Structure 1
Amino acid sequence: MSHAAKAGALGAVSVCAVILSSTAAYAIGDDNVEPPSSGRPSGDASGATLTAAATATGIKVRQVSGGSSGSSHEPLAPVDPNWEPPACWYEPVATSQQLKAAVDRLKKNPNTNLVHVTPTLSWGEELMVDHYEKGTAKTGSGAGYENYNLDKDGRFWRGVINKNREDDPESAVCERTLFWQNSGNLPDDEHAPTPDVLAGYAYDKINVPTTEVEVNPVTKSTVNLPTWVWLDKGTFKEVRVRAELADAGVWAETTAKPVALHLEPGTDDAETRPASGDCKINDDGSIGTPYSKGDSDKTPPCGITYQRASSGRPYELKASITWQISWEGSGGTRGDLPNGTFETTRDMTVQEIQSINR
């Protein structure tokens, strides 16, 4: 990961670290107001650990184009089975003043623990005072910070776990304790929230239309006569999702563009058109050609010819739409990610008749 990709201005920090007590969870920097439920710790605490809170993130995600992500939309499956979204990354969490205020509350209530020191470790008063106020270095935590770096311009950062990968061992690698980062650029760390990291995070949030292909004949296909398959233009469009970590001045927009339709007839006794089964997208955004009256003797650009009747049990036609994935982000960055696919199925009844009136 290049240093150029890591460059980015830091803005105002959102408050994600919290103080956990027996009565309430308080956001750093606010002595009276509880944080929203989405950022509140949850799950079981054991000793000094609290793992569930580590998934709270300041990254905001929204679908910029391509429709909503409602019930008629579903997530993509990457073509590359080895590709996964980022497991964890670092985010700014508190100013010097906010961290000092949190530790001051610890002093008033020694039974309170500070979560988000790492994704899986909470520190109590003694360790927090020693490391961030007195500047005492702690094993595995690097040099300490005198008086919370109150005379410096920057933020304290923490590790965040991707909620969709919190059971993955890779999610535990962002285990640095709260560390200081001067304002102006991202940490020099392979798990910094660079635009490519946010692009991968956005990919995991893409939902595409659950579009079914059009076929003719609609009810029953016929042995040795072509079944036309197509998707009208406008049936699906590019889907663009934006992920932004405003606190770090970093953003990325990941775009999924439909580029092809792949057909699997559901039986070896069939021929696809083209022979590969890959129907390319047309210049107008459609795939294939709609059937018109009088086309029964023509060969469809996208379709299937079944050579054996379905014998009472329909064949399962699988139609997989390939989506090409690219991204662009802050600092003029851009790149590609593995293609995604979305598969739909359709029952195809094939009758043993050699000619039909279409």
Structure 2
Amino acid sequence: MLLACAPADAIGGGGTNDGTHGGTSHKDIYASATYSRIKVRQVTGPTGGKRGVLSSVDVNWEPPACWYEPVFTGEELKAFVDKTDGNGDVGIHESWFGKELWTDHYQDGKPENNFDDEHSTAKGYKDYNVDENGYFWRSVAPDTSDPKSWDCGKIMFWQDAGQVPKIAHAPTPEMLADYAYNQVKVPDTEIDSTPATKSTVNLPTWVWLDKGTFREIKVRAELPRTNLWAETTAKPVALHLNPGTEDAETYPSSGDCTINEDGSIGTPYAKGNADRTPPCGIRYLRATNSRPHRLKASITWQITWHGSDGSGGDLPDGIFETTQDMNVQEIQSVNR
């Protein structure tokens, strides 16, 4: 019999089971406290093409580092212990190797210490509570190297069905909304421009984004066996242009191009508009030599959420940025 206090991903690999990634076995998911049972799916918005995740504009905002969620019924825990011979995670940073550890606590009622700062006592159970209606809950941490993952130090505990435990780091709709924030996949910011990749000194480059690509995106996160869910919505609200050099002007001068009423950004270039000022664009003042300018285009996404209990609100705006090369040429003239 051996008790090991170790990172939870020592058993069954690491990562989260967010409903969007494969490659984990049923046994791994139930053995490891790094796998969440939260199910995430995109409800609305574009799904094809190259996509990426958002970066919060609030440097102090971060997704939840740990939480508790239901894992086993009494019968399921008993079957798990018998099948694995008692090898698995009883908490984020506590793994039990040896069947007797599990049977002592969950079958024969022996108390154990929680893995929290107070080393509080966890009461034991009789025969895995197989005659009770409820679930054993366990802590979850997507990243066990995060120091805040140690905040969820209770070993696996029982909660009656239809109830969420009234403890710190219990799941809430807002927590699910925060979790879903990192699951929002937005389209790559591939801007259209005229000229496309080669601009001319002192002539404006028109920039725009298609209304069909940048649509509102809604992601739903649900935690099975709790009736808790939240929907997190990302809405594009602005495009910011950074020309990649100080020898340039942006339109508007702030570089912030707002979203039009139809959902597009900027205005496509039309023949005859070469001398007009674009509503969204750049004017380069010097030609490039061997190195093109690195034009940065970043979309600001406004993030809101609402949950199963009627709660809701705002989350920090998200940014998605890409870069593309821009060559700038001089106008060639011949004098006779």
User: Shorter-chain-normalised TM-score: which range?
Assistant: 0.7 to 0.9
2:86 and 2:100 in contact (8 A); partners too = no
Indicate whether 1:321 and 2:299 are aligned.
yes
**Higher deviation after alignment, 219-228 or 194-203:** 219-228
Structure 1 position 315, deviation (Å): 1.1
Determine the structure 2 residue equivalent to 1:58: 37
1:38 and 1:56 in contact (8 A); partners too = no
Indicate whether 1:349 and 2:327 are aligned.
yes
Structure 1 position 179, deviation (Å): 0.8
2:138 and 2:157 in contact (8 A); partners too = yes
Structure 1 position 290, deviation (Å): 1.2
5 Å-filtered alignment, 1:220-239, equals 220-239=198-217
Are the structure 2 counterparts of residues 182 and 221 from structure 1 closer, same or farther at C-alpha, using a change threshold of 3 Å? same
Are the structure 2 counterparts of residues 298 and 332 from structure 1 closer, same or farther at C-alpha, using a change threshold of 3 Å? same
CA–CA separation in structure 1 for the residues paired with 2:31 and 2:86: 14
1:224 and 1:354 in contact (8 A); partners too = no
Q: 2:269 aligns with which of 285, 291, 294?
A: 291
Deviations 1:185-242 (A, max 9, x none): 2111221121111112211111111131111123432222211111121122112111
CA–CA separation in structure 1 for the residues paired with 2:277 and 2:50: 32
Indicate whether 1:113 and 2:86 are aligned.
yes
1:61 and 1:244 in contact (8 A); partners too = yes
Structure 1 position 333, deviation (Å): 1.8
Are the structure 2 counterparts of residues 127 and 218 from structure 1 closer, same or farther at C-alpha, using a change threshold of 3 Å? closer
Are the structure 2 counterparts of residues 38 and 259 from structure 1 closer, same or farther at C-alpha, using a change threshold of 3 Å? farther
CA–CA separation in structure 1 for the residues paired with 2:184 and 2:78: 39
**AA matched with 2:42:** Q
Deviations 1:290-339 (A, max 9, x none): 11112122211111111111234321111101111111111112122221
Structure 1 position 102, deviation (Å): 4.7
- For the residue of structure 2 that corresponds to 1:145, the secondary structure is coil
Structure 1 position 37, deviation (Å): 4.1
Structure 1 position 268, deviation (Å): 0.4
**AA matched with 2:86:** N
CA–CA separation in structure 2 for the residues paired with 1:216 and 1:202: 37
2:197 and 2:325 in contact (8 A); partners too = no
2:189 and 2:299 in contact (8 A); partners too = no
Segments of 5+ residues of structure 1 without an aligned counterpart are 1-19, 21-35, 43-50
Determine the structure 1 residue equivalent to 2:108: 134
Structure 1 position 67, deviation (Å): 2.5
- For the residue of structure 1 that corresponds to 2:175, the secondary structure is helix
Segments of 5+ residues of structure 2 without an aligned counterpart are 1-10, 12-22, 115-120
Are the structure 2 counterparts of residues 351 and 139 from structure 1 closer, same or farther at C-alpha, using a change threshold of 3 Å? closer
Indicate whether 1:155 and 2:135 are aligned.
yes
Determine the structure 2 residue equivalent to 1:32: none
- For the residue of structure 2 that corresponds to 1:198, the secondary structure is helix
Q: 1:40 aligns with which of 22, 27, 38?
A: 27
Are the structure 2 counterparts of residues 123 and 189 from structure 1 closer, same or farther at C-alpha, using a change threshold of 3 Å? farther
Are the structure 2 counterparts of residues 231 and 71 from structure 1 closer, same or farther at C-alpha, using a change threshold of 3 Å? closer
1:67 and 1:239 in contact (8 A); partners too = yes
- For the residue of structure 1 that corresponds to 2:270, the secondary structure is coil
1:269 and 1:308 in contact (8 A); partners too = yes
Determine the structure 1 residue equivalent to 2:309: 331
**Higher deviation after alignment, 286-295 or 141-150:** 141-150
Q: 1:303 aligns with which of 274, 281, 304?
A: 281
Normalization by structure 2: what TM-score? 0.82
Number of matched residues? 305
2:241 and 2:256 in contact (8 A); partners too = yes
- For the residue of structure 2 that corresponds to 1:336, the secondary structure is strand
Structure 1 position 138, deviation (Å): 2.1
Deviations 1:160-205 (A, max 9, x none): 221xx23222223323111111222211122112111111221111
Normalization by structure 1: what TM-score? 0.78
Structure 1 position 123, deviation (Å): 5.5
1:242 and 1:252 in contact (8 A); partners too = yes
Are the structure 2 counterparts of residues 52 and 113 from structure 1 closer, same or farther at C-alpha, using a change threshold of 3 Å? closer
Are the structure 2 counterparts of residues 139 and 353 from structure 1 closer, same or farther at C-alpha, using a change threshold of 3 Å? same
Q: 1:79 aligns with which of 57, 77, 90?
A: 57
CA–CA separation in structure 1 for the residues paired with 2:320 and 2:74: 47
Determine the structure 2 residue equivalent to 1:203: 181
CA–CA separation in structure 2 for the residues paired with 1:289 and 1:353: 25
Structure 1 position 101, deviation (Å): 4.6
- For the residue of structure 1 that corresponds to 2:90, the secondary structure is coil
**AA matched with 1:272:** T
5 Å-filtered alignment, 1:261-276, equals 261-276=239-254
CA–CA separation in structure 2 for the residues paired with 1:256 and 1:348: 29
1:289 and 1:301 in contact (8 A); partners too = yes
CA–CA separation in structure 1 for the residues paired with 2:87 and 2:223: 23
